[in-house]
């Protein structure tokens, strides 16, 4: 059976697309004059937008958290899923901390104990959910706890190590009791990650004041009065 002429295609030598044969010459002239293939991703880009495509998609950028360099289009996925310094929440205390420190922190945090109100036993946080689903308030649930809620001699050392032992903050190396670590990491650690109020980039808290002093002095054009005002003044005008 004959194939309709408008269904016959040929490959454009410039963009490698299948083009209806009857339109190939016109397409090829336009394609070679207006478009170029990106050498990095292979997409056909309007020649006048080639620089913009490179800057918005392929230009190397550095992650503000870990300083790793990558293509711009990969930055969002990196910061959301792969960056070792991205903030993630501990499943036990729910405080945010860098992903690179999560395993070590949860190994300690999950061994902290909490008093079960039903059986008066001290239960590890990592075992609390399973314990709560099985606990009926009886002493058979806690072989290591006394019925009045006091800690038995067999697990007194473990309770001390999980709650009262001195631990070091993995960010600033300050030492404190284990139970104080979540608040320290969330509110007081000088190396905790905080956000600049002007550019919204992330910085260690100890560097924030110096950065905001410089960042707040940067200027931006006001769309209402056309004057250049500092970011600090802009924020004050909004408030």
Count the neighbouring beta carbons within 10 Å of the beta carbon of residue 157. 11
Summarised one tens digit per residue, pLDDT across range 151-177 is: 444 454 455 445 556 777 777 888 888
Q: Is 234 helix (H, G, I), strand (E, B) or coil?
A: helix
Question: Model-level pTM?
Answer: 0.42
Gap between the Cα atoms of 22 and 6, Å rounded = 7
Is the per-residue pLDDT at 67 higher than 80?
Answer: yes
Q: What CA–CA distance (Å, rounded) separates 139 from 47?
A: 77
Question: Quick check: 92 pLDDT over 80?
Answer: yes
Q: Give 189's contacts (C-beta < 8 A, 6+ positions apart).
A: 169, 171, 172, 174, 205
With 50 as the cut, is the pLDDT of residue 124 above it? yes
């Amino acid at each position: 059976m004959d194939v309709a002429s408008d269904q016959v295609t040929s490959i454009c030598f410039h963009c490698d697309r299948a083009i209806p044969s009857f339109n190939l010459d016109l397409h090829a002239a336009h394609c070679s004059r207006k478009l170029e293939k990106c050498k990095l991703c292979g997409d056909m880009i309007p020649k006048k937008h080639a620089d913009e495509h490179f800057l918005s998609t392929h230009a190397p950028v550095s992650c503000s958290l870990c300083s790793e360099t990558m293509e711009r289009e990969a930055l969002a996925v990196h910061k959301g899923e792969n960056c070792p310094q991205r903030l993630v929440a501990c499943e036990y205390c729910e405080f945010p901390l860098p992903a690179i420190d999560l395993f070590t922190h949860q190994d300690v945090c999950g061994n902290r104990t909490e008093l079960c109100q039903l059986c008066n036993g001290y239960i590890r946080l990592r075992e609390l959910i399973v314990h709560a689903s099985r606990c009926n308030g009886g002493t058979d649930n806690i072989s290591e706890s006394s019925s009045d809620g006091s800690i038995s001699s067999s697990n007194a050392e473990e309770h001390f190590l999980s709650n009262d032992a001195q631990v070091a903050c993995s960010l600033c190396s300050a030492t404190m009791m284990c139970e104080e670590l979540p608040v320290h990491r969330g509110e007081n650690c000088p190396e905790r990650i905080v956000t600049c109020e002007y550019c919204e980039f992330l910085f260690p808290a100890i560097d924030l004041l110096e950065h905001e002093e410089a960042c707040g002095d940067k200027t931006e054009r006001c769309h209402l009065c056309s004057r250049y005002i500092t970011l600090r003044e802009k924020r004050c005008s909004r408030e």
